[in-house]
Chains A and B, each alone.
Chain A
Amino acid sequence: MIRWRNEIKQTAKGLAFLSPWLIGFAVFMALPIGLSLYLSFCDYPLLQPPVFVGLRNYHAMLHDSVFWESLRNTGYYALLTLPAGMIIAIAAALLLNSRVRGISIYRAIIFLPSLVPLVASSMVWLWLFNSRLGLINTLLRYMGVAHPPGWLTTTRWAMPSLAIMSFWGLGNTVVIYLAGLQDVPKELYEAAEIDGASPARQLWHVTLPGISPVIFFNLIMAIIGVVQNFTVPYVMTQGGPDRATYLFTMYLYDNAFSFLHMGYASAMAWVELLIVLILTAIAFWSSRHWVHYQGK
C-alpha cells in the first residue's frame, strides 16, 4: 500500500515536471493537428464558421489540375536535389576530412552559406541568375556560350535554377557527414589497405557503409525538407513562370491565405503528411539492405 502510494507520488512528480511541455504540446501541437483533421472535412473560409462537407475536399483534389501540377513540381525538385545534394555533400565532406593546412578555414567557407538567411540568399541568387546582367551568364558568355539559359525566366530552367541554388546551402549536411566520417574506425581502413584495396574500393566498401546511418538520417531530413520547401521559390519566382516552380506548399499557402480555402488547405496538409510518411516508410524498409550500424 505504501509502495503503491509512493509510486503514485513519484508519477505525479514526474508529470508535474513534464507538464509545461505536455501542456505546450497539447495546446500548440495536438489540438491544432486534431482541428486541422476535422477542418479537412469542412469548408472553412476563416471568416465564416466551418461547414462539414465530408470528403468533398479530398475529392476535389483528384480533379484539381493545379494540385497535381504542384505535386509534380515538388517531385521534380526532389529528383533534382536529393541525389545530387547527397553526392555533393558527401564529396565535400570527404575533401574536408583530409589533413591539409588551413582545413578549418575551408570547413568554415563551406559551412558559412548555410548561416545566411534564406531570403537574403534568395535575393543574391536572383541577381546571379539574371539572364542579362547576372554573373553566371556573364561567365558563360565569356566562355563562348552565345545564348546562355534564361534561368528563372524560362519554364525549362526555372526549377533547375532553384536546385542549383539549394546546393549552396549544404553546409549543415556536410558538417553532419564530416562528423560521421570521423567516426569510421581507422582499423577498417588499415585492414582494407593491407588487403590491397584501392582508394575507390575503400570508399565503396568501408567509408560509405561506415557512414550509412548518417546518410540515412540526412535522407529522411532531406525528404521532409524538400516536401516542405516554400521560402526560396516564394521569394525568387512566386511559383512562376507559368507555375513551373509552383511547389506543393506554395499551393497550400495560397489556398489557405489567398483563396481562403482553409478546409482544402488542411486536406492538402494531411496529404502532404501521408506522402512524407510513405516516403519515410520506404526509406526505412530499404535501410535494412544498405544501412549498417556499428556494433551490429
Chain B
Amino acid sequence: MKRMLKNIGFVLLLIPALAILFFGPRQQAGVPKGRVVVTYWEKWTGPEEQQMKIIVDDFNATVGRKKHIFVQFVSMADIDKKTLIATAAGVPPDIAGLWDNDIAQFASLGALTPLGELARQHGITSKTYKKVYWRACHYHGRLYALVSTPADIALFYNKLIFKSDAAKLRAAGLNPNKAPQTIHELDAYARVLTKFGPNGQLLRAGFLPTEPGWYFPEVFFWFGGHIWNAKTRKFTLTSPEDIAAYRWIASYSKWLGPNAINSFTSAQGNFESAQNPFMLGTLAMEQQGPWMANYIYSYDKRFSTLHCSYAKALVMPLAQRRKNYGWAVAPFPSAVPGLKDVSYCGFDAFVIPRGAKHVKQAFTFIAYVESQPVMERLCSMMSKNSPLRKVSKRFIERNPNPYIDVFEKLASSPNARGLPQIPIMPQVIDELNTEAQAVALLERTPARALQKAQNRLQREYDSYEHVQKLRRAEK
C-alpha cells in the first residue's frame, strides 16, 4: 500500500514535469539566428496592428536582413504606463509607440533617448517634416521622438443624411451640398439634422461635442484659444476664447438636456464596431481623424461603396471616386472669423526609451519607416495623411481615404496646432476632460470650470518647478 502511494505520488509529479518539458516556454520561434532583436511595443490593435505588422515584416525581410536586425512587434494595452515602468526597471523596449501627449512628460523625466544625432546621420532634418509635427517631436529644443503616423482632426459628415434632409436644410438657409463653414453654421446644421422620437427621445444627433469626446483638451484651438503660455510658464485657461469653447460645449447640453445626450450616447456602440454611431447614421457629423476612413471600410463597407466596388473606385479620378462614398470630410469649422483650416495635429510617436539596449538598430527601423515610400505605404494602409513635407501625387490619388488632400492641407496650414509641451500633460488632459464633462452635464458654468482647472493645474505646475529646482540644487 505504501509503495503504491509512493508510485502514485511519483506519477502525479511526473505528469506536470513532462508537460512543462514538452509544452513549456520556448525561445521565440521565427527569430532568425545571428540578428540583433529590436523589441517594438505598440498600442495598436485590430486593422492598424495588422497594417504595422506588414511594415515590420517587410523591414525584417529587406533592410533587417541586410543589417542583421530583427524587429519584434508586440501589441499591448496601456503602453504609456508599461513603457514607464519598464524604463524605471531598466528593461525598456527598444522602440515604444507612444502618443504625442506623452513626449513632454517622458522627456522632462529623462526617460527618452535624444534622437537628434541619429536623425542627422540618417538625413532626417526639419525640412523632412511638416512644421507642426517636427515642433511637437521636440522638448526644450531637443528631438525626442519621430512620427509613426499622424492624426489631424477634421469634420466627417454623412452625405446621405444631408441629401435626405436637403429640403429642411435649404429651408433653414443652409447648403445641403456643402459642409458647415463656421461654428455657428455647424450648430445650425446640427439643429436641422437632429431627430426626436415620439417620446421626445433623441433618435439622431446632428452633432454632439461629446461624441466621441476625445478632443476636449484641444477644443480651444477652434476658438482661437490657448492652454498655455510657454514664455511665462502659465496656464491661460480663463481667457475669453477658452471660455467661449466650453460655452459652446454647454450650449448643446442646454438645448438637448444632459440626460437626453447621455441616454443617446450610452445606446451607441463602440467606436471600433459596426455600431459606431457615425456608421449607423445616428450621428450626422463627427469630429474625427483620418483613420475613420479605415474603420468605416473595415466595419461598414457599404458606406464606402455606394455605386461600385472599392477596387474599381480606387483607380478613378478623386472627384469621381468621392461620389462612391456616403460620407465626406471638411475642415472642422472655427468660431473666429477669418481663422481657417484649424486642426489639432496629433500623432503616434516612435520613441527610444532611456536604457534601450539596441539604440542604433532601433533607429535604423525608425528611419526605414520615416522614408517617403514606406511612410506613404503605412499611412495609405491606415487612411492617414503623411507627416512628411514631400508627398507623391500617387499617395493623394490612390489613398483609400478619398479626402486625404483635406488632411494634408490641414497639416500644412499655418493654423495647424499641436499640443503645448507641458511636462505635466497627463494632469492637464485629466483635468480638462473632467471639467469638460462637468460643463456638459451643466454641473458647472464654463467660467467656473476653467477657473478651477486653471488654479489646480497652475499649482501642480508650480510644485513641479519647485521640485525640479531642488533636484538641480542637489546636483
Q: Let me know if A292 is at the binding interface, CB within 8 A.
A: no
Q: How large is the interface on A (under 10, 10 to 19, 20 to 34, 35 or more residues)?
A: 20 to 34
**Docked CA distance A63–B264 (Å):** 38
Q: How large is the interface on B (under 10, 10 to 19, 20 to 34, 35 or more residues)?
A: 35 or more
Q: Let me know if B111 is at the binding interface, CB within 8 A.
A: yes
Q: Mark B247-276, 1 if CB is under 8 A from A, else 0.
A: 000000000001100111111000000000
Contact of B201 among A46, A130, A132 (CB under 8 A): A132
Complex contact A259–B427 (CB within 8 A): yes
Complex contact A154–B262 (CB within 8 A): yes
Given A132-B264, A154-B262; A257-B434 close (CB under 8 Å): no
Nearest CB of A to B149, in Å: 24
* Stretch in B289-297, B381-389, B397-405, B467-475 touching the partner: B467-475
Contact of A150 among B88, B109, B259, B438 (CB under 8 A): B259
* Stretch in A88-96, A172-180, A238-246 touching the partner: A238-246
Q: Let me know if A48 is at the binding interface, CB within 8 A.
A: yes
Q: Let me know if A281 is at the binding interface, CB within 8 A.
A: no
Given A47-B88, A48-B471, A53-B467; A153-B81 close (CB under 8 Å): no
Q: Let me know if B173 is at the binding interface, CB within 8 A.
A: no
Complex contact A133–B474 (CB within 8 A): no
Q: Let me know if B105 is at the binding interface, CB within 8 A.
A: yes
Nearest CB of B to A269, in Å: 17
* A interface: dominant SS: loop
Residues of A within 8 Å of B262, CB to CB, are 131, 150, 153-154, 241
Given A132-B267, A133-B267, A150-B259; A241-B427 close (CB under 8 Å): no
Q: Let me know if A45 is at the binding interface, CB within 8 A.
A: yes
Residues of A within 8 Å of B437, CB to CB, are 240-242
Residues of B within 8 Å of A66, CB to CB, are 456
**Docked CA distance A155–B262 (Å):** 11
**Docked CA distance A51–B424 (Å):** 18
**Docked CA distance A243–B87 (Å):** 30
CB under 8 Å from chain B, chain A span 27-68: 43, 45-48, 51, 53, 60, 63, 65-66
Complex contact A45–B441 (CB within 8 A): no
Q: Let me know if A254 is at the binding interface, CB within 8 A.
A: yes
Complex contact B474–A242 (CB within 8 A): no
Nearest CB of B to A160, in Å: 16
Complex contact B87–A47 (CB within 8 A): yes
Question: Nearest CB to that of B470 among chain A residues?
Answer: A51
Q: Mark A112-152, 1 if CB is under 8 A from B, else 0.
A: 00000000000000000011110000000000000100101
Complex contact B443–A155 (CB within 8 A): yes
Complex contact B266–A47 (CB within 8 A): no
Residues of A within 8 Å of B266, CB to CB, are 130-133, 152-153
**Docked CA distance A180–B467 (Å):** 54
Q: Mark B453-475, 1 if CB is under 8 A from A, else 0.
A: 00010010001000100110010
Complex contact B105–A154 (CB within 8 A): no
Q: Mark B93-137, 1 if CB is under 8 A from A, else 0.
A: 000000000000110011100000000000000000000000000
Complex contact A51–B471 (CB within 8 A): yes
Question: Nearest CB to that of B111 among chain A residues?
Answer: A47
CB under 8 Å from chain B, chain A span 226-246: 240-243
Q: Let me know if B430 is at the binding interface, CB within 8 A.
A: yes
**Docked CA distance A254–B424 (Å):** 13
Complex contact A46–B84 (CB within 8 A): yes
Residues of B within 8 Å of A6, CB to CB, are none
Given A131-B263, A154-B259; A242-B110 close (CB under 8 Å): no
Complex contact B471–A150 (CB within 8 A): no
Q: Let me know if B426 is at the binding interface, CB within 8 A.
A: yes
Q: Let me know if A82 is at the binding interface, CB within 8 A.
A: no
Residues of B within 8 Å of A48, CB to CB, are 109-110, 471
Q: Mark B52-83, 1 if CB is under 8 A from A, else 0.
A: 00000000000000000000000000000100
Q: Let me know if A198 is at the binding interface, CB within 8 A.
A: no
Nearest CB of B to A203, in Å: 42
Given A132-B264, A259-B424, A260-B105; A47-B441 close (CB under 8 Å): no
CB under 8 Å from chain B, chain A span 142-190: 147, 150, 152-155
**Docked CA distance A260–B265 (Å):** 32
Residues of B within 8 Å of A258, CB to CB, are 81, 426, 430
Given A153-B263, A241-B437; A53-B88 close (CB under 8 Å): no
14 contacts between A and B (CB under 8 A): A47-B84, A47-B110, A51-B467, A51-B471, A53-B467, A131-B263, A133-B266, A153-B259, A240-B437, A241-B437, A242-B441, A257-B81, A257-B84, A260-B105
Residues of A within 8 A of B (CB): 43, 45-48, 51, 53, 60, 63, 65-66, 130-133, 147, 150, 152-155, 240-243, 254, 257-260
6 further A-B pairs in the complex, CB-CB below 8 A; given A46-B88, A258-B81 = A65-B456, A131-B267, A153-B262, A242-B438, A257-B84, A258-B426
